[in-house]
Amino acid sequence: MALHTMTLAELTAGLESGEFTSVDVTRSLLDRIATYDAKLNALITVTGDAALAAAAKADADRAAGNVGMLNGLPVIHKDIFCTRGVKTSCGSKMLDNFISPYDAAIVERMTAAGAVVLGKANMDEFAMGSSNETSFYGPVHNPWDLDCSPGGSSGGSAASVAARFAPAATATDTGGSIRQPAALTNTVGIKPTYGRVSRYGMIAFASSLDQAGTITRTAEDAARVLGVMAGFDERDSTSVDAPVPDYLGEIGESIKGLRVGIVRQHFDEGLDAACAVKVKEAIAVLESLGATTVEVDLPNIDLSVPTYYVVAPAECSSNLSRFDGVRFGHRAENAEDLFDLYCRSRGEGFGDEVKRRIMTGTYALSAGYYDAYYLKAQQVRQLIADDFRKAFADVDVIAGPTTPTPAFKLGDKVDDPITMYLNDIYTIGANLAGLPAISVPCGFVDELPIGLHLVGTHFAESTLLRCAHQYQQQTDWHTACPEAFA
């Protein structure tokens, strides 16, 4: 079995038995990246030397009996996570010259657990986008069809895992940015409960929505990585001080009796008919495993996209103010005065989509408009959260499609932001309500993968992982590898 095809679980077994070393694995994957990434553009930075050094250390640690949960396992970090001494660009020209002086909390935790970082994944600029086309470093291509988008904003993470560059990548999800690319690349993407994973060192887009998670090929691997990433961090006031369950240990439990909610609104006209068939088949598999289905109503869910596109830009307009050319990042040359320095540094450093959102958000927060936009959006957000709470009185998880269609062609939606935004129609609700959600591969439409979306109640990651894992035990969609990357 080739090293690059192995999951974290399989690699762990091989490392434990001494069949191969972390250096072997790391070298093999770095070779693959060198050979294939020209096709995908999935990575912004490859940290080969550091990876080999980390792998050697992991092997030494293992020999010394010091074996962390991720010992010797290769991972790729989305370039939104600060990595000490390594360029952390957030997909933007603004931070093209930014070498982070510190590690993000999740980077710290994963490194401490023995992970080997191969590099930094491409992404939409400041995580604003659903196709990876807003990246300063150019779009990422979908391994299943190089003319297609892998989704976004975590397109580089998803494409890397799908193309077997690494068995796991970190990602972030503000409005579907983990789950949508996972669905479009035949990978598993989990966005945990808001507050489950520290945001410290994750460059902020919309602080009340941003959450870090993972992209892997199996739910089992997601459980392994999430178990390391999750937990209270006093450096993030919104992180929740609650014990982290043994995700990996609980994953094998049966889902018999699990109550699965089907949202009436999710199967309306917006959903591609072939996709609907696949998603319904997936739900039938859950039923065959002993789950029962219940129809649930989320009466305000249609408002989630417009609500999101007020709240997220408002927060981003403030979060991105620190990029002013004064202390770090891009600075315009020969500024005439302070105003000129600001205008040109920001004008040159940010791309169109980022500017669009900063302007939208600035408008929404302006005197005279605040009540009509920001405040109203927060009220609707509360309604949506209430809808979910009511629905979860009767069900354990809510199942539906992750995206309305399979992957779309690069360039198709880039000039039509509204259509682009609608790609996240099924995923954004979970962000607004702070709920955990997972996308798991559930088949192919026109030879392109799609995902089954499962949403849980707050801190029900374990239930989602178990449900996805049990589904993956019955199906083999996730083992399919794009031909060009076999």
Are 188 and 222 a contacting pair, CB within 8 Å? yes
For 151, other C-beta atoms within 10 Å of its C-beta total 35
- Least distance between other proteins and beta carbon 376 (Å): 13
Comparison of 247 and 374: residue with beta carbon closer to other proteins: 374
User: Distance between CA atoms of 432 and 212, rounded to whole angstroms?
Assistant: 15
User: Distance between CA atoms of 161 and 215, rounded to whole angstroms?
Assistant: 7
Comparison of 27 and 356: residue with beta carbon closer to other proteins: 356
**Six-digit token pair at 20?**
């191969």
Closest CA to 405 of 454, 431, 444: 444
User: Distance between CA atoms of 475 and 183, rounded to whole angstroms?
Assistant: 15
- Least distance between other proteins and beta carbon 225 (Å): 20
- Least distance between other proteins and beta carbon 425 (Å): 23
Chain residues in the site for other proteins (CB under 8 A): 81-82, 88, 90, 95, 98, 100-102, 104, 199-204, 206-208, 234-238, 314-315, 317-318, 320-324, 326-329, 338, 342, 362, 365-367, 370, 374
Q: Is 177 a catalytic residue?
A: yes
Catalytic pick among 177, 239, 304, 345: 177
Which amino acid belongs to residue 208? S
Which is it for strands 448-456 and 188-191: parallel, antiparallel or unpaired?
unpaired
Comparison of 46 and 343: residue with beta carbon closer to other proteins: 343
- Least distance between other proteins and beta carbon 374 (Å): 6
Catalytic pick among 78, 93, 191, 278: 78
Q: Is 153 a catalytic residue?
A: yes
Which is it for strands 211-216 and 168-173: parallel, antiparallel or unpaired?
antiparallel
Peptide bond into 153 cis (omega under 30): yes
Comparison of 65 and 339: residue with beta carbon closer to other proteins: 339
Which amino acid belongs to residue 321? S
- Least distance between other proteins and beta carbon 308 (Å): 14
Catalytic pick among 22, 130, 153, 157: 153
Are 406 and 448 a contacting pair, CB within 8 Å? yes
- Least distance between other proteins and beta carbon 327 (Å): 6
User: Distance between CA atoms of 359 and 100, rounded to whole angstroms?
Assistant: 27
Comparison of 294 and 326: residue with beta carbon closer to other proteins: 326
Q: Is 278 a catalytic residue?
A: no
The Cα-based distances of 366 to 29, 357, 363, 375, 408 in angstroms read 49, 14, 5, 11, 36
Q: How far apart are the first and last CA of the chain?
A: 12
- Please list the residues that pair with 259 across neighbouring strands: 292
Comparison of 234 and 476: residue with beta carbon closer to other proteins: 234
**Six-digit token pair at 55?**
């792998």
Q: What positions carry a catalytic annotation?
A: 78, 153, 177
